[in-house]
Every structure is written in structure tokens, then in C-alpha cells.
Amino acid sequence: MISPPLSPLSQPGSWAAADVDKRCLWHPFTQMRAWCAPGHDPLVLVRGKGVWLWDDRDRPYIDANSSIWTNIHGHNHPVINEAIRRQLGEVAHVSFLGFTHPTAIQLAEKLVGLWPQGTLTRVFYTDDGSTAMECALKMAWQYWRLRGDDKRTRFAAFDLAYHGDTCGTSSLGGIPAFHERFGPLHFPVSRFRTVDEIEALPRSEAECFAAVAIEPLIQGAAGMRLWPSGSLKRLRAWCDRNGVLLITDEVMTGFGRTGTMFASLHEDVVPDIVALAKGLTGGYLPLAATLAREEIFEAFLGEYADLKTFFYGHSYCANALGCAAALANIGLFESEKTLESLPAKVELLQRLLGALAENHPHVGGVRQLGLIGAIDVVRRRGETQVAMEPYPWQEAIGARVCVAARRHGLLTRPIGDTIVLMPPLVVDAAELYQCTAAISQAISDVCGTVA
Ligand SMILES: *Cc1c(COP(=O)(O)O)cnc(C)c1O
């Protein structure tokens, strides 16, 4: 009897899957010539558990950037798995345009409850970080039009900001390599380097802003750049003085990543609008939420014919599977006491990063906020920032270090020559040791052990 040939994709360890990938796919933020080159063996990941991922040759790796900053409680978590399965047994998705469903309702109440009472009271569901921010921008814009204010037509954003890749959100973006080329498609944005610069604006200029957007406490895509302490609080005060809406982009920082549920809470700041995405479903499914204050919501109320409606939405808004995953994700913060477990891990990470900065001749500096770590790889270190000698960016040292790290059982993605170490919050002490050891060895493999 002749049996049909197995699909190449069903043969673990075979490279046929990678061949099909090279023939049919186009990967995000990826130079596809190098990807498709004959010498490149794409890493095919097939399963996960906790902080670990396995490739199709059954080799384990620590997921040291939480699958692009999304995963919170680990992969393949029984509680989140079960929540999705239970929802799947009911219904996977129904339209949220003119209908509602219990999982989305429960989740909204939970999300509102994560903020001080009576502050962020309304939840608008979107799909991902970009659409959560896009929604925030349009909300802010229409809010001022509905208020009859025709002056507030500008947005303020910061140098090196990253708020997503739609045309709207990349208008706010301040990373030249990602955003500059699309300049002619972008709406005009006033860009500032620091909160000081914003504070120095004359009142007449300040009152032209509809909103200012900021990644609170830490700019992720900028290379894990920390704001000077107190910056967010000062920006909040400036917004209050000038009637400008404060939009915080907690897409990366939300859900415990920085040690508190949200980064803004480090400075006791509540924004007028917040964007949540990546960690919302624990890194399981694309779902996002834009939360707004009641006063903003109320401006949109009127008769149908008033045309005050927020005409914005996506077909998968409030996807039921995503909402079920998100509810389980938030529930785990309580049942596993996730936030309570963090201080010890944060302190250990601080010691490990400190040792790396002290001892490795090619580590020029480290930064940390909560369980977000960043390691700058340099050709030669100096006593001062000026004396530091970086590698030419064309050498893609950061990328080479991350490829080398795979041999030491660790996966992450660099930002330039900065190595990101941002494991799921369930990471334990032994795994944190493994992370910094693997990164240290990978830097030595690529850069050598002497400067
Ligand atoms: C990742 C990210 C986004 C974009 O989110 P996507 O889900 O990738 O669209 C926006 N803002 C910040 C701060 C991010 O880190």
C-alpha cells in the first residue's frame, strides 16, 4: 500500500519547513535577503513551557525577551490555556459593533479596577499596540473638536519615541531608521527631547496641543532609555496647567513589567488616556485596550444626528478568545502573587547586570527598570560616556551577539548594540543567572574577552 507523503511541515527536525518559509514569507523588521540566503537556518520554534521555548530539533532556549515583550506568566500556562479552551467551547468571536458579550464586560471591569477609582473609567478595545495608540490619537483629536476647541490641533511626542507602525502612530515616532522615510505620509508632530523643553513653551504654544504621548518611565524601542526620575509627574503637571491631554503608552510597560502593574504608578500619575496591549493577554493573543477618563467619554455623547459618535473600530474588537486570555492573565496576578514575587527578582537582576557591567570588557553600560534589562555592547569602554568606543553600527554586533546567544540556550532581539533582557515575570533565580551567563558568553564569543 502506498501511503501519501508526509507534509514537510509535519516532520520535526526537517529543514523543509524553513525552505517553505523562505519561499512564501516576509518577516517583520527583517532584511529578507539575509533571511533567505542559503546559509541561513531560520530558527523554527515549535513549543513552549514557562520561560522556555523549544525548536524543531528539541533544543531548549530561555525566551529572554518574552516573545517580543508580550509574555508575562510563561508559555503554555495551564490557567490561560484552560480559559481560552472554555471560551472556545462557547464562541470564539462576535461583533462588538452593536453587540456585547460577557467576557469583554468582565474584562473591562477588571481593567478599570486596576486604576485608582474614578479615573480611567471607559475601555475601548482594539487589536494591538499600534491600534490602541491610533485609537488614543483619534479619541483625543475628536474630543477637542467636540468641545468646540479649534486651536488644539497638534500632538506632542518625544525624540526616539516608538508608538507603533500605522501611519498615525508612526507620525509620533522619533526613531529615524523606522520613521524618517515615511515622513511625507505623517501628520506634523512637535517633537521634544525632554520634559524641560516642553515646560519651556510659552502658554500660547502649549495651548495648541490636543495631547502629548509618552512611553512612561522608559522608552523601549529607543534602547530601553530611562526618563530622569520625576519626568512623568512633571509632564502630568504641565498637561494640567495647559489643558493638554496626557496619553501614556503602556504597551510595553504594562502588566508588571516594571515592577508595578503600570509604569505610571511609580510616579503616582494617572493619564487621561492609556494604551494597553502586549502583556494584556499574557502574550497569548492580539488584543488591546485604550482606557479613557469619563470626561472624555462624555464629550462623545449626543443624539445620533449630532454625529458625535466615535466612528472608529476594528472587526476583531473585543475578540472573545483574547478577552478570556486577558481575564486569566489578570487573575494570575492575584492567584500567583506575581507582583509580590518581583522585588526579589528585580534585585537579583540588578546584581547580575551590575556584575556584567563591572567585569565584562565589552559591556559599556547596563540599564534596568523592574524586570526590563538592557546591556550595551561596546568595542572599548571608557570611564565616561564620551570615552566609550562603540562598534560601527554596520557591523550589527548586537544582532551577532543574539545569534551567538542561541548556542548558549537564550533567545532575544537586540536594539542596535543593546541586548534586551526582559524575561517573562515567572522567571526564577536560576533562570536569571542562566540569562546573564548566556549573554556574557555570547558577547565574549563575538567580541572576545579582552578590550
Ligand atoms: C510594541 C509597542 C507598540 C506597538 O505595539 P504593536 O502591538 O507591535 O502594534 C507601541 N508602543 C510601544 C511602547 C511598544 O513597545
Whether the pLDDT of residue 10 is over 80: the answer is no
Environment class of 374 (CB within 10 Å of its CB; exposed 0-12, middle 13-18, buried 19+): buried
CA distances from 185 to 130, 165, 166, 167, 182 (A): 16, 12, 11, 7, 5
Cβ(372) – ligand 1 distance below 6 Å: no
DSSP character for 14? -
- Dist. CA 45–CA 57, nearest whole Å: 9
| Mean pLDDT of the region 38-44 | 94
Please state the separation of Cα 131 from the chain's center in Å. Answer: 13
> 132-185, pLDDT tens digit by residue?
999 999 999 999 999 999 999 999 999 999 999 999 999 999 999 898 999 999
| Mean pLDDT of the region 209-221 | 98
**Maximum separation of any 2 CA atoms in the chain, in Å:** 84
pLDDT band at residue 382 using 50, 70 and 90 as cut-offs: confident
Environment class of 351 (CB within 10 Å of its CB; exposed 0-12, middle 13-18, buried 19+): exposed
How wide is the angle at C-alpha 268 spanned by C-alphas 260 and 121, nearest 5°?
A: 85
Cβ(163) – ligand 1 distance below 6 Å: yes
- Dist. CA 140–CA 132, nearest whole Å: 12
Cβ(164) – ligand 1 distance below 6 Å: yes
CB distance 22 to 395 below 8 Å: no
Ligand 1 mutation pick, 133, 278, 290, 413, max ligand atoms within 8 A of CB? 278
All 3 cell numbers of residue 382?
571608557
- Dist. CA 397–CA 416, nearest whole Å: 8
Cβ(129) – ligand 1 distance below 6 Å: yes
Closest residue by CA, ligand 1 atom 7? 129
CA of 387 to the centre of ligand 1 (A): 33
CA of 251 to the centre of ligand 1 (A): 5
Cβ-based neighbours of 301, under 8 Å, separated by 6 or more:
308
| 131 CA: nearest ligand 1 atom | 9
> For the chain, what percent of residues have pLDDT higher than 70?
97
| 220 CA: nearest ligand 1 atom | 15
DSSP character for 45? E
